[in-house]
Structure 1
Amino acid sequence: MNHHELAQQIVDRVGGPTNVIKVIHCITRLRFFLKDETIADTEAINELKGVMSVVKSGGQYQVVIGSQVGAVYSEVIEILGEKFTGEETSAKEEVQVTEKKKNVFNRFLETLTGTITPVIGPLAAAGILKGILALLTIFKLITAESGAYLLLNALADALFYFFPILLGFSAGKKLKTKPYIPAIIGAALVHPTVVAQIANVDLDFFGIPVVLMNYASSVFPVLVAAWLCSYVEKWLNKKLPSATQLILTPLFTMIVVGVLTFLLIGPVITFLSGQLATVVFWIYNLSPMITGFILGGFWQILVIFGLHWGMLPISIGNFMANGHDPLLAILAVSIFCQLGAALGMLIKTKDPIQKEIAAGATISAMFGVTEPTLYGICLKFKRVLWFSILGGGIGGAIMGAMNAEAYGVAGGVFSLFGGINPAGIDHSFYAMLISFVVAVFGTAALVFIFGYEKRKKKGEM
């Protein structure tokens, strides 16, 4: 792939620099904010070699590239200029044009996407490291008392314990507020002296009772705090003299939002998120097998429309609070089946172009990135899509029936490490292995045996 050539072709076909307000990217997609989407030549973009699909969602014009999106994005910025990255504070035009296109739900999903996507990679890396440590101790290659274990475990645990800090920084960047203030508030939530006072029922703030909770590994309180920071900061910048804004704006933002987070936001959001998790897991417990079949089979359909971001924080929040989560275990299977679909296509097809697409999709799916399979194969060949739904559904049902839990957040083949209980290998790891075999090789076998295209009847053209 010639990254510069592809970038130039995409920019030309979305209407040129004059039609672009901002462009960002996630794991597989270029996300354009356009002044007028009707100018963009979607059909021509879809036909470009290196483009898998175009998705219009939440005021964004999304061009699906796959694993090489970072390189293409760099070339796009080279063509457009740095001002189109949206890092500058003067984003009024973007707000005026795009916010009109978005409803509250779309804005919520976009914020979650932009906040959580940057930490997914480190989250997965920490989960894999914890799985490796568990294996090393199980097979007595190291002991829990050794210096090697101490250092590696600190690296693996740091992200989970200090998650509010990283999430605060990420949310601050996404919400276009100074990210260090939400990060500081996140740090205050897990400050050792605060944690030490959790059991103190007599604590107050100038006479106002303070209900402290354990916010280590929490997700939602700091997200709400970051959202509030974005409004307080803008209001202060309008009211304060420009000469004082450098110091006074962060000072007042930190005090106002920080205190509100401890007194109100933290306790209320923690309670509400707990109730939401209770409802979700009440549904799951009605029939783990049926829930497993539905999530394992159809989760990737939500990925296509970007709706998976609405549920993912619930599972991550539950995982952070308890150290394990059954839904994340089932969602791993939804990636396994896409790996199986790509692998089956790679083995079955004789078309050199499809084989090239399938090879890239197989490698991407092994690392947990499924968009190349979804857009490059499943949406083009509906038979493969249904095979992947069946394979993922059966694998998910197995996970549910065996009450499997995920002890790490990882994607692709690395999800197998997530099935390892730090206390020792148990039913979750065996369920993960069985589901892996069923979802990957079962889906691949279906594609290989029955083919990826509907066979034409005799006489059909």
Structure 2
Amino acid sequence: MAKKDYSGLAKTIIANVGGKENINSLIHCITRLRFYLKDESKANDEVLKETDGVIDVMHASGQYQVVIGNAVTQVYDAVMAELGGLPEGGEAAETAETKEDDGKNPVSKAFGNLIGFITGSMSPVVGVIAASGIIKGILALLTLPQLGALLNVKSTAYITVSAMADSAFYFLPILVGFAAAKKLNGDPIVAAVIGGVLTYPQLVTWGGQYKTMFSLGGFNFQFLNYTYSIFPMILAAWLAKKLEDWLRDHLPDYLQMIFTPMITILLVSAVTLMITGPVIQGVANGIADLINWVVSASGWIGGLLIGAFYQVLVIFGLHWGVVPLVAQQIAQSGQSSLNAIISVTMVSQGAAVLAVALKTKKKGTKTLGISAAVSAFCGVTEPAIYGINLRFKKVFISGLIGSAVGGLITGLMHGTMYGFTGSLIGFSSFFNPKNPSDLTSFYAFLLSSAAALVISFIVAWVWGYNDEMVAGKKVEKKQRPGSEAKRKSETLTAPVAGKVIALSSVNDPVFSTGAMGEGFAVVPTEGVVKAPVDGEVAALFETGHAIGLKTTAGAEVLIHIGIDTVMLKGKGFNVKVAQGDLVKAGQILIEFDLDGIKEAGYDPTVMTVVTDKHDVDIKLPSVE
């Protein structure tokens, strides 16, 4: 199968989030591109929502989130390739979030920054630990006495595959440290080394024995086991970034290469082992145990409430705040009752969208619905929620009804999960690896998933959807009063002397049909192209036959000299500016050999097209 090209989608996304200059940084999770923008009012939500390949747009957690779905990694790579050199999270994002006066409540702002940091630290790791959890579950399945114990836990094959599954959890501090440092625009290698310190075999052994490092004033500082841990390493990565910045400001350049990483590793590792690690690990374990206890103690009530409302968190991207808590639960106790309930909510939303896909006669809705259902059954509900379920709110509610029943059953049976991956694909996570013959949680998974699937499907089929329904607007955060951007206007002049004609009369359908945007053309009488407006040279083609400008107000304008003149390979074109130059209206941009183009058999008509208005009111010259 040919590899799909996402460069066009990437360009559209960049243009409609306000252009590269409006982007501080970019990260992604399983389904979303998460932009940190300088000014979110410059983004064009409506255009992006109607763009093929984009499911929805959200404003949440201090981020501008473009929901892509399963192809998010490929789209992210394409966007980063177009942007070039943009930091993946980091100082730019931190500066934008913390330093700009955007009128947000400080508490809300701090919470958004925290969620953004956790997202950036955890999202690159989630896929790996999810896959590892499935492998561990399959191993537990293969050791079941009911299946004839196909694998012996002491066999070479079991131990080898178990190492493959456990490595992501065992060395989780290294993975999280690397990801967190990238998010902070720090040194990911240094952070990974600090994570390696926390998982060093001898220190892990001492941690298991609570060996005393030293005593101070009658207080014993002990080693702890940090394998499977998350939060101590996230803070360590932040401390490392701050210390690195300070050292770079105070150490001479000739000492930077060796002494910056050396001092950072020594100090941050020591502080983490002695102070921050034990404190954070204790708090995190306490919270994880408390959540497990509350979910277990609340029984069917907790299951009902969590099942009914968890997917509402997904709408706003706040579920990412739950991810590290679930991971901490599994790391601390080897199980998560909360994750067992979350799993059934994924099944229910998948069942609801599947009902729509099978019932509808609309080809587009059917295709999207089937794809979204498969995604939900594989543990990712956002394509279903944003693509269809929220557009037809009764479908989303149908899913909530089913998940409430499924959560109730899970709570009644005290079901729990021993792995990270949920929904139908995560069935193996419900087998207890320490006691494979205990199938209580697996039976809870079967009954709750079946109930959620059947109920959500029936309710959505009977009540939630029909083809006569009109899709509602997608959920979006309301703008603060007074935050709407004032519409700007600009006037374009003819970039070259000659006769101004309608773009529709140009002998090239790419331009004449308006596919590139509205504009005008000029039959030139001389070979000098001048800037039609003040702006910046945003794009410059090597052949010199075309140039892209970003106007002062933010619109994007393309000036194309001749039709098929790219075939001249630059002959007869003399470019007078460079990409990134600021230009004034009337400034010479390109000189070209008008007679040479004609003699070569090409049409010299110069097209000026507004490829993206960015909400700017553009006035074009009158056609003669």
TM-score, normalised relative to structure 2? 0.69
Q: Count how many residue pairs are aligned between Structure 1 and Structure 2.
A: 452
Instruction: State the 1:59 CA deviation.
Output: 3.2
Give 1:449's aligned amino acid. V
User: Which ranges in structure 2 are unaligned for 5 or more consecutive residues?
Assistant: 470-624
Match of 1:442 in 2: 455
Instruction: State the 1:381 CA deviation.
Output: 0.6
Match status 1:130 vs 2:141: no
User: Per-residue displacement from partner, 1:22-76 (whole Å, max 9, x unpaired)?
Assistant: 3332221222232322222211221222221110123322111111222223333
Match of 1:196 in 2: 205
Greater mean deviation of Cα atoms: 94-103 or 393-402: 94-103
Q: Equivalents in 1 of 2:193, 2:91: separation in Å?
A: 27
SS of 1:62's equivalent in the other structure is strand
Question: Are the equivalent residues in 1 in contact too, given 2:16–2:43 (CA < 8 A)?
Answer: yes
Greater mean deviation of Cα atoms: 48-57 or 5-14: 5-14
Gap change, CA 1:147 and 1:205, over 3 Å in 2: same
Q: 2:161 aligns with which of 147, 152, 162?
A: 152
Q: 2:29 aligns with which of 22, 26, 29?
A: 26
Q: 2:377 aligns with which of 366, 372, 384?
A: 366
User: Per-residue displacement from partner, 1:367-425 (whole Å, max 9, x unpaired)?
Assistant: 21111101011210110111101111111111111111101111332221111111214
Give 1:121's aligned amino acid. G
Give 2:111's aligned amino acid. F
Gap change, CA 1:348 and 1:2, over 3 Å in 2: farther
Match status 1:432 vs 2:445: yes
Instruction: Give runs of aligned pairs for residues 42-61 of structure 1, distance below 5 A.
Output: 42-61=45-64
Match of 1:459 in 2: none
Q: Equivalents in 2 of 1:24, 1:232: separation in Å?
A: 23
Instruction: Give runs of aligned pairs for residues 82-121 of structure 1, distance below 5 A.
Output: 82-84=84-86, 86-87=87-88, 94-99=93-98, 100=100, 101=102, 103-121=109-127
Q: Equivalents in 1 of 2:121, 2:159: separation in Å?
A: 30
Question: Are the equivalent residues in 2 in contact too, given 1:383–1:454 (CA < 8 A)?
Answer: no
Gap change, CA 1:149 and 1:283, over 3 Å in 2: closer
Q: Equivalents in 1 of 2:436, 2:289: separation in Å?
A: 27
Q: 1:300 aligns with which of 301, 304, 311?
A: 311
Question: Are the equivalent residues in 1 in contact too, given 2:210–2:224 (CA < 8 A)?
Answer: no
Question: Are the equivalent residues in 2 in contact too, given 1:182–1:229 (CA < 8 A)?
Answer: yes
Instruction: State the 1:148 CA deviation.
Output: 1.1
Match status 1:270 vs 2:284: no
Question: Are the equivalent residues in 1 in contact too, given 2:352–2:399 (CA < 8 A)?
Answer: yes
Q: Equivalents in 2 of 1:202, 1:216: separation in Å?
A: 18
Q: Equivalents in 1 of 2:188, 2:91: separation in Å?
A: 19
Give 1:16's aligned amino acid. G
Gap change, CA 1:434 and 1:254, over 3 Å in 2: same
Instruction: State the 1:92 CA deviation.
Output: 5.7
Match of 1:236 in 2: 247
Question: Are the equivalent residues in 2 in contact too, given 1:319–1:325 (CA < 8 A)?
Answer: yes
Instruction: State the 1:275 CA deviation.
Output: 2.8
Greater mean deviation of Cα atoms: 8-17 or 103-112: 8-17
Match status 1:171 vs 2:184: no
Instruction: State the 1:20 CA deviation.
Output: 3.0
The sequence identity of aligned pairs, in percent, is: 39
Q: 2:411 aligns with which of 382, 395, 400?
A: 400
SS of 1:203's equivalent in the other structure is strand
Q: Equivalents in 2 of 1:406, 1:282: separation in Å?
A: 14
Instruction: State the 1:340 CA deviation.
Output: 0.7
Gap change, CA 1:171 and 1:7, over 3 Å in 2: closer
SS of 2:143's equivalent in the other structure is helix
Match status 1:3 vs 2:16: no
Question: Are the equivalent residues in 1 in contact too, given 2:375–2:381 (CA < 8 A)?
Answer: yes
Q: Equivalents in 2 of 1:347, 1:167: separation in Å?
A: 41
Question: Are the equivalent residues in 1 in contact too, given 2:360–2:466 (CA < 8 A)?
Answer: no
Q: Equivalents in 1 of 2:205, 2:17: separation in Å?
A: 55
Match status 1:291 vs 2:294: no
Instruction: State the 1:295 CA deviation.
Output: 1.6
Q: Equivalents in 1 of 2:324, 2:466: separation in Å?
A: 37
More helix by share: 1
Q: Equivalents in 2 of 1:123, 1:92: separation in Å?
A: 27
Question: Are the equivalent residues in 2 in contact too, given 1:348–1:447 (CA < 8 A)?
Answer: no
User: Per-residue displacement from partner, 1:72-129 (whole Å, max 9, x unpaired)?
Assistant: 233333433x123x159xx765544343357111111011111111111111111111
Match of 1:417 in 2: 428
Q: Equivalents in 1 of 2:311, 2:296: separation in Å?
A: 22
Q: 1:222 aligns with which of 214, 225, 233?
A: 233
Instruction: State the 1:206 CA deviation.
Output: 9.5
Gap change, CA 1:58 and 1:135, over 3 Å in 2: closer
User: RMSD of aligned C-alpha atoms?
Assistant: 2.3
Gap change, CA 1:413 and 1:171, over 3 Å in 2: same
More strand by share: 2
Q: Equivalents in 1 of 2:47, 2:368: separation in Å?
A: 19
Gap change, CA 1:58 and 1:288, over 3 Å in 2: same
User: Per-residue displacement from partner, 1:283-321 (whole Å, max 9, x unpaired)?
Assistant: 324412111112222111111112112222122111111
Instruction: State the 1:254 CA deviation.
Output: 1.0
User: Per-residue displacement from partner, 1:133-164 (whole Å, max 9, x unpaired)?
Assistant: 11222222222222211211111122222222
User: Per-residue displacement from partner, 1:340-387 (whole Å, max 9, x unpaired)?
Assistant: 112111111111121121022012112211111010112101101111
Give 2:445's aligned amino acid. M
Gap change, CA 1:219 and 1:14, over 3 Å in 2: closer
SS of 2:222's equivalent in the other structure is coil
SS of 2:206's equivalent in the other structure is coil
Q: 1:213 aligns with which of 193, 215, 224?
A: 224
